[in-house]
Structure 1
Amino acid sequence: MSDDLQIKARARLLDLSKERGASLASLSEMLGRNGTYLQQFIKKGSPKKLEEGDRRMLAEFFGVAQSELGAPEGSVKEKSYDRVASARNTQWIDVPRLNIGASAGPGALPDAEEPYDTFQFSRRWLAEQGLEGAKLQAITVEGDSMEPLLNDGDEILIDTAERPFRDGVHVVRLGDTLMVKRVAQAGAGRFSLLSQNLAYPPVDVAADEMEVIGRVVWKGGRV
C-alpha cells in the first residue's frame, strides 16, 4: 500500500510541475537539493519517499494537501488552506509563460521554449470567453507591425489546440521565425499574412511554407 501511495505521489508531482510550468530542476533547487533530486524521485523512486520538510514545501508551493504528495491520510495535520486546496485548484488553470517572442515586425528567431512563469485564469472566465478546453500558452509580441491591435511588449495567449483553420490573428512559424499576423486564406493553397500597421506590406505564402502555431485569443499589456 505504501509503494502504491508513493507511485501516485510521483505521478501527481510530475503533473503539478507541468501544470505550473515549473521544471523539476528548479523545484529541486527551491528545496535546496541537487538539481536532479526530484527527477530521480519521479523516474527512479530514489528516494522512496519525500522527506517531510520537502513534501511540506512542495505542497505549500502548489497549494495542495500533503496527502497528494505521499503523506498517509491523517498522518499530517493539514493547514486550513490545505484542506480546501484541491477544490480551489479545480477552479483555476495555469497557463505557462514561454520565453519566446513572436515578431510583429520583420521577423525574430525564437528562444528556447521553456516556461519561466505562469498566468492563472479561472475556468469560469475561460468558459465565458469560449476557451473551455483550449490549450493555452503565453508569449510576447516583438515589433510594431501589428499596432495598434498588438503593441511591442504585449503578452498574448495563443490556443494551440488542433482546430479547423479560420481567418484571424495567429502565431505562425516560417522556417525558424515566429510571427504574429492576421492570416487569411488566399485560395489555391496560399495564405496572406497581413499586418495592422499599413507600413508593412502583405506577405503571400504557400500552405507548406507556413506552420500555424496557434490562434491569438487574448492580449495583455501596460497602459
Structure 2
Amino acid sequence: MDESQIQESRRMRLADAVNKLAEGNVASFGRLLGYRGGAFVRQMLLGRRAISDKTVRRIESLRGMRGWFSPALAHAQEDAAPAYDYGAGPEVYQLYPVQLRVRTGIAGYTVVPDESDEDAPLSLHRHWLARRGYRPTRLLALRMAAAGMEPALHVGDVFVLDTAETTLRDGQVFAINFYGEVLVRRVQRDGDGWWLVADNLDQARYPRKACAGPDCVPIGRVVFKQGENI
C-alpha cells in the first residue's frame, strides 16, 4: 500500500471516528484531541493535511479507540457490524465540494478542497441516506467540470459520489480514473467489455471509450446531483 492509499484509509477511519465520538461534530472532535477547534481535523478529512502516526496514536489513546486504525481490526468490525448506525450522527450530513487528484493505474486518490464553493455545503438528511443504504463517510461531493454528460449533468452541477460502489453497473453513471483523469461517464456493457459513454449528443467531441485494464479504475457511482437546469 503506497502513501496515498494509507492516507485515504486513514481519512475514512478518521471520518468514522468523528461520527463515533462526536456525532459528526468536527470542532468537538478536535477539542478531544487537544486542539482549539476543528480546523486541523477538517483539513485532514479533506486531504489538505496528512494524518501522521502521532495523530493516529493520539486518536487511539481515546477511550474505546484502541486499534482503531488497524486494518485487521477494521475488517473484523465491518464483518461483525455491516449495518451503518445512522442514528449515531447528526440529523443532516454536510458535504463540501472537493476535487480529486488521481494517477494512472492507481486505485487511490487524493482529496483537495474545491475553492469555488459559493453554494456549499450540500446537505443530506440521515433518513434519506438510511433508505438508500449510503454511508456518509463514503460519500464525496464533486463539481462537474465538463459538458460530456449534458443534459444529465451540466457544467457547475454538484454531484455526490458513493465511493463504496466500484463495481460497474450497466447504464449507471460512474466517476472513473481514466489514464490519470477523473472522467464522469455512463457505463455500458457491450459483449464482453465495458464502455464509457457520454450523454452529450456530440459524439465526435465525446466519443465512447473502452474501459479495461489498470488504466480504467472506477472511483464511485454518482447517486445524487444538485443543479439549476430543469
**TM-score, structure 1 normalization:** 0.54
Partner of 1:15: 17
SS at 2:222 equivalent:
strand
Q: Residues 130-209 of structure 1: matches in 2 within 5 Å?
A: 130-133=132-135, 135-162=138-165, 164-167=167-170, 168-188=172-192, 190-201=193-204, 202-208=207-213, 209=215
Aligned length: 162
**TM-score, structure 2 normalization:** 0.53
CA deviation map 1:198-222 (0-9, x unaligned): 1124323142131111111111123
Q: Which has the larger radius of gyration?
A: 1
SS at 2:111 equivalent:
coil
For the 8 Å contact 2:26–2:41, the answer to whether it is kept is no
CA deviation map 1:39-87 (0-9, x unaligned): 7984576xxxxxxxxxxxxxxxxxxxxxxxxxxxxxxxxxxxxxxxxx7
- 1:27–1:206 distance in 2 versus 1, CA, 3 Å: closer
TM-superposed CA distance for 1:156, in Å, is 0.5
Between the aligned residues of both structures, percent identity stands at 25
Partner of 2:99: 99
Q: Residues 124-135 of structure 1: matches in 2 within 5 Å?
A: 124-128=127-131, 130-133=132-135, 135=138
Partner of 1:212: 218
Partner of 1:105: none
- 1:20–1:171 distance in 2 versus 1, CA, 3 Å: farther
- Aligned mates of 2:210, 2:19 — CA distance in 1: 38
Which has the higher mean CA deviation after the structures are superposed, 155-164 or 210-219? 155-164
- Aligned mates of 1:219, 1:13 — CA distance in 2: 22
CA deviation map 1:3-24 (0-9, x unaligned): xxxxxxxx999933996789x8
- Aligned mates of 1:40, 1:191 — CA distance in 2: 40
TM-superposed CA distance for 1:181, in Å, is 0.7
- 1:39–1:181 distance in 2 versus 1, CA, 3 Å: closer
- Aligned mates of 2:149, 2:169 — CA distance in 1: 19
> Which residue identity does 2:130 align to in structure 1?
A
CA deviation map 1:79-117 (0-9, x unaligned): xxxxxxxx7844333435313499xxxxxxxx9522467
Unaligned runs of 5+ in 1: 1-10, 31-35, 46-86, 103-110
Unaligned runs of 5+ in 2: 1-12, 43-48, 59-86, 103-108, 115-119
Q: CA RMSD in A?
A: 4.6
- Aligned mates of 2:190, 2:155 — CA distance in 1: 27
SS at 1:126 equivalent:
helix
- 1:170–1:126 distance in 2 versus 1, CA, 3 Å: same
